[in-house]
Amino acid sequence: MDNGEKSFEELLTQIESIVTEMESKKLPLDKQLASFEEGTALIRKCHSILKNAEGRVEQLSRQDVNASLTEAPASDYGPEN
């Protein structure tokens, strides 16, 4: 990404790697807790990215609806009675 932050997909891959490591290895409790903490932080970042994307989609959807309402000619709405 332009600002040096990892993309959603990169974060997700990193989370998957942490989960795999935690499931496949007998790690000491302190390492398990550190991995869990890291994974939780990554999940928060992913959640933030998704909320931002959701807001952008809603904004674009509203713009599309408003544009179609103001730009459509009256003849598009059928004959008047």
pLDDT of residue 61: 87
Long-range contacts of 31-39 (CB under 8 A, 24+ apart): 39/15
Distance, CA of 51 to CA of 77 (rounded, Å): 35
Distance, CA of 5 to CA of 54 (rounded, Å): 19
pLDDT of residue 4: 79
pLDDT in tens, the chain (81 residues): 457 789 999 999 999 999 999 998 888 999 999 999 999 999 999 999 999 999 999 998 888 677 766 665 655 555 554
- Could you give phi then psi for residue 22, rounded to 5 degrees? -65, -35
Distance, CA of 9 to CA of 79 (rounded, Å): 50
